[in-house]
Amino acid sequence: MHSFRLRFDRSPNATLAIDAPQWVWKTEGRNPDIVLCSPDRRTPIKDSKKLVLRSDGWISEAEAGKAAAEYVPILKVALAKLRVGADFGDWGPKRVWTEYGLAYLQEQTGNRTLNDVHGLMLYESNPSPVFVSTEVDGLHEVKAERFEALFSQGAEKGCSLSNAEGIAFGLFNASCFQRSADTRLLLLVMAIESLLQPPSRTPAALEHVASMIRATKESACLSSEEKASFLGSLEWLKVESIRGTGRRLAHDRLGDREYGGKKAADFFAYCYDLRSRLVHGKKPFPSFPEVNSATGPLEVFVSDLLTQPHLGLE
């Protein structure tokens, strides 16, 4: 027999008012029951920040996988309809025990031991396993001398911030409080975008855009709604693209410094393209490892970009 198990975190601002530690969806004997429960099966569902959707007793791993593919979307739709946010582990790091660690725990306790995976897992139902997890949060520690030196430098030079810079620093700080890689990346790219002021294009390019605007206005085959849509888009062509302006700002402030193995201008373009694929659902949609590997260097990049006018580069 095989099981599927989906462990997820509910949002802190909503919960399911279920007083029992588990809720069962009966399939009337046609298939194994579907169970929603707290991980320890003792805490009431309404009080548990982590929840589990599970089902035991499927005849094969393939059948358990098919059941998960059927019932997990049902759970997601129901929670979304109720506005109960959930983190299903798609964008979080998988903090797990190693194979040797699990073997040690199993030897010490005498119980079959599996990782408490944040997300979906398939496994043999018997013997019933114990699920274990580990939480390790990295802490970026700054030496007191380093802080004092930079504060003194800022006090000596002065650090007056423009409105755009104020917004950028706010977005940068907000990113530091996010746990998911995709949210951090989006906020960090937004911080860069708030600094950008795209310049006008060349006279030749502006004349070309003007000709397209005239042609659109004079078109007899377009509806008024279509004309308005095209004209709105064409107006944006009068200035340089965000991608191009960002590349120039990165080069002007950071030169040939490298981030994530790429020169500053190229690194901005790479992260901006990741942002576009995330926001617009472009294929191939970014994977967690792809976004996560970019977010660390991007944090350093934005830090340098924001502070270079005030403290220079080291």
Contact 43, 21 (CB under 8 A): yes
pLDDT tens digits along 70-86: 999 999 999 988 989 88
pLDDT in tens, 140-182: 777 888 888 888 988 888 888 899 999 999 999 999 888 888 9
Is the pLDDT assigned to residue 135 strictly greater than 70?
A: no
Locate 62 and state its tokens.
């393939």
Q: What is the pLDDT of residues 6-52, one digit of tens each?
A: 999 998 889 999 999 999 988 877 789 999 999 999 999 999 999 99
- Of 121, 163, 156, 160, the closest CA to residue 2 belongs to 121
Burial (Cβ within 10 Å: 0-12, 13-18, ≥19) of residue 246 = buried
Q: What is the mean pLDDT of residues 242-267?
A: 95
Indicate the pLDDT class of residue 271, thresholds 50, 70 and 90.
Answer: very high
**In this prediction, what percent of the chain has a pLDDT beyond 90?**
49
Cross-strand bridge partners of residue 37: 22, 52
The pLDDT of residue 91: 63
Residues 6+ apart with CB under 8 A from 304: 253, 254, 257, 313
Closest CA to 6 of 131, 152, 158: 131
Q: Which helix (H) or strand (E) holds 72?
A: helix 61-81
Q: What is the pLDDT of residue 7?
A: 93
CA pair distance 244, 212, nearest whole angstrom: 22
Give me the residue label for tokens 């040797």.
Answer: 100
Q: What backbone phi and psi angles, to 5 degrees, belong to 74?
A: -60, -45
Question: pTM of this prediction?
Answer: 0.71
* Topology (CATH level 3) of domain 159-197+240-311: Four Helix Bundle (Hemerythrin (Met), subunit A) (1.20.120)
The average pLDDT across 222-227 equals: 90
52-60 average pLDDT score: 94
Task: Find the farthest-apart pair of alpha carbons in the chain and give their distance in angstroms, rounded.
Answer: 81
- Which whole number is the average pLDDT over 254-273? 96
Q: Which pLDDT belongs to residue 284?
A: 84
Q: Domain segments of the chain: what residues?
A: 2-132, 159-197+240-311, 206-236
CB 213 within 8 A of CB 234: yes
For the chain, the average pLDDT equals: 89
Please state, in angstroms and rounded to a whole number, the distance separating the CA atoms of residues 163 and 288: 33
Judge whether residue 196 has pLDDT over 80. Answer: yes
